[in-house]
Amino acid sequence: MLYRGVGLVVGAAVVFGAAVIWFAVSLDSTTASPSIGRGIFGVWTFLYALETPAPHVLVAAIALAVFFAAGISLLEWRVTNASRRSSNQLRAPLAPKIVMSQTRDVYAGPVAFTVLIPAYNEEASLSATLTSLLSQSHRPERVIVVADNCTDNTAAIARSYGLEVFETQDNSQKKAGALNQVLAVILPDLGDNDIVMVLDADTTLDDGFLESGVARFESDRALMSIGGLFYGESGAGLLGQMQRNEYVRYSSQLKRRRGKVFVLTGTASMFRSRALREVARNRGGLIPGQHNDVYDTLALTEDNELTIALKTLGALITSPAECTVVTEVMPTLRSLWVQRLRWQRGALENLGVYGVTPPTLRYWAQQLGIGYSVIALTAFLSLILLTLLSLDEWIWFPFWLGLGIVFMIERVVSAWRGGWPARLLAVTVLPELFFDMFLNLVYVKGIVDITRGRQGTWGPDADAKPTPVLDQPVVLASTTGER
């Protein structure tokens, strides 16, 4: 169990790798080519240099990139195949081979959805969420709004829709604790073919989400979970558009991976009840956490942790292109900083708790890749600034300009699905580069904080506004009678 050491391990590996690459490049003895002047219509004179990296440096850089990309892909493929073919009931109870063998010729009933909506003072967004849910082409059989220490009209709004309301009791463990309480009540009574969907109260579902989910679960008995592909809501100006571009690229990446999941997003994910029961049963054993809890209440990012838990148990999970949702974007840099620092810190903590295992190798590689991008982008922008300060005149480098154009094209193409606002932002390049630098600072802050042992929190309000504790008992009520 690495925990605090995970920051040192990731940081040291990134710095060492960058130093090796820097040393290899520094061996190149190519001298700088002189700049050449050219005039345009006798009015404007510009300078350019035809200097390019040595061929062996280019070949080495390309070979290194291909080696790591192919290596990670091959490793992920082998880990995935090993998990699917595993017949070790003790180590991988949710492996497809085991599940298919146990469910052969067994009918566990039709696929039925129970939707859980954890909500803490969500009266502003809850109505839109419920409207999108109840207008699905395949309506859920049961919807429970989990009112977690609410002091507003969240519970009243839910009841006005004729839905069940579960009010948590003495919960001080945020969203994970609230979901554990309601799952402890409903999970024992669900059949193996029943589906539990967790939907954030600030998320709206695109039409066909549940219908696509039902089709997937009915066609594959071994499928244990489906995560939604999320897109950003409108608004929040330039900052909001940068987040929307980021989400569009992430969704496109998952589509290229044919639904292979990085994280079962907390915005909207579906789980077979059997999978959740196996997670609870194996907590404190094969996977970290408190025995009989579905969610690890010590994890800052419970969705990321649950994804790793399911993969550790051999579960088959996916994110189909048809299951899309719209989620909130952060309106200010401060709120974005808090959100992303929690995500980054939570990812590092999860790796520290699980250690280096086949299911976590991809996540370790991701952290190292982010670290290299931090160094590369910082060095790139720093060298541009140094060049500007050192030269009296601007010099164009056609080779690097060409690479920049290729980069710009990639940015535009990858954000194409976001529409013209996304494309126009991508073609300008610089705003998104500064956005990436902002995320790099979050990454470094997360590494430093976990290494120093600083306590992770949900955000600035975690200390300023303690979660109130209500003294009423746990209530599972419905205005429509017993179900």
Given a cut of 70, whether residue 339 has pLDDT beyond it is yes
Task: Give the lowest-confidence range in 171-175, 191-195, 198-202, 388-392.
Answer: 388-392
256-271 pLDDT, tens digit per residue, is: 777 677 888 888 999 9
Percentage of residues of the chain with pLDDT beyond 90: 42
Contact call for residues 336 and 43 (beta carbons, < 8 A): no
Task: Give the lowest-confidence range in 207-221, 393-407, 410-424, 436-450.
Answer: 393-407
CB atoms within 10 A of CB 242: 24
304: Cα separation from own chain's centroid = 7
Handedness of CA 41, 44, 47, 48 (dihedral sign): negative
Question: What token pair was written down for 476?
Answer: 């599972």
Model confidence at 119, in pLDDT bands (50, 70, 90)? Answer: very high
Model confidence at 464, in pLDDT bands (50, 70, 90)? Answer: very low
Give the pLDDT score at 371: 87
Q: Regarding predicted confidence, which is higher, 198 or 47?
A: 198
Backbone angles phi, psi at 336, to 5 degrees: -65, -40
d(CA 193, CA 28): 62
Backbone angles phi, psi at 344, to 5 degrees: -65, -45
Residue count of the chain, please give it.
483
Model confidence at 317, in pLDDT bands (50, 70, 90)? Answer: very high
Model confidence at 176, in pLDDT bands (50, 70, 90)? Answer: very high
Model confidence at 162, in pLDDT bands (50, 70, 90)? Answer: very high
Give the pLDDT score at 482: 34
d(CA 348, CA 7): 7
- Give the CA-trace dihedral at 74, 76, 77, 80, to 10 degrees: 160
* pLDDT mean across residues, the chain: 83
Percentage of residues of the chain with pLDDT beyond 70: 87
Give the pLDDT score at 323: 87
Question: What pTM value is reported for the model?
Answer: 0.85
CB atoms within 10 A of CB 463: 9
CATH number of 93-332: 3.90.550.10
Give the pLDDT score at 24: 67
Handedness of CA 449, 454, 456, 461 (dihedral sign): negative
β-strand 268-272 against 194-199: which pairing, if any?
A: antiparallel
Model confidence at 29, in pLDDT bands (50, 70, 90)? Answer: low
Give the pLDDT score at 471: 35
Give the pLDDT score at 133: 93
Domain ranges of the chain: 93-332
Model confidence at 226, in pLDDT bands (50, 70, 90)? Answer: very high
- Find the distance separating the first CA and the last CA of the chain, reported in whole Å: 44
67-78 pLDDT, tens digit per residue, is: 877 887 787 777
88-108 pLDDT, tens digit per residue, is: 788 889 999 898 888 887 777
CB atoms within 10 A of CB 250: 17
Give the pLDDT score at 28: 63
Task: Give the lowest-confidence range in 47-51, 326-330, 346-350.
Answer: 47-51
Give the pLDDT score at 415: 92
Give the pLDDT score at 67: 80
Contact call for residues 269 and 162 (beta carbons, < 8 A): no
Give the pLDDT score at 465: 32
Measured N-to-C along each axis, helices 398-414 and 420-428 cross at an angle, to the nearest 10 degrees, of 160
Contact call for residues 429 and 324 (beta carbons, < 8 A): no
Give the pLDDT score at 111: 84
Contact call for residues 61 and 22 (beta carbons, < 8 A): no
Give the pLDDT score at 258: 74
CB atoms within 10 A of CB 138: 16
Given a cut of 50, whether residue 212 has pLDDT beyond it is yes
Given a cut of 60, whether residue 474 has pLDDT beyond it is no
d(CA 475, CA 473): 6
Q: Is 111 left (phi over 0), alpha (psi -120 to 50) or beta?
A: beta
List residues bridging with 229 in a β-sheet. 324
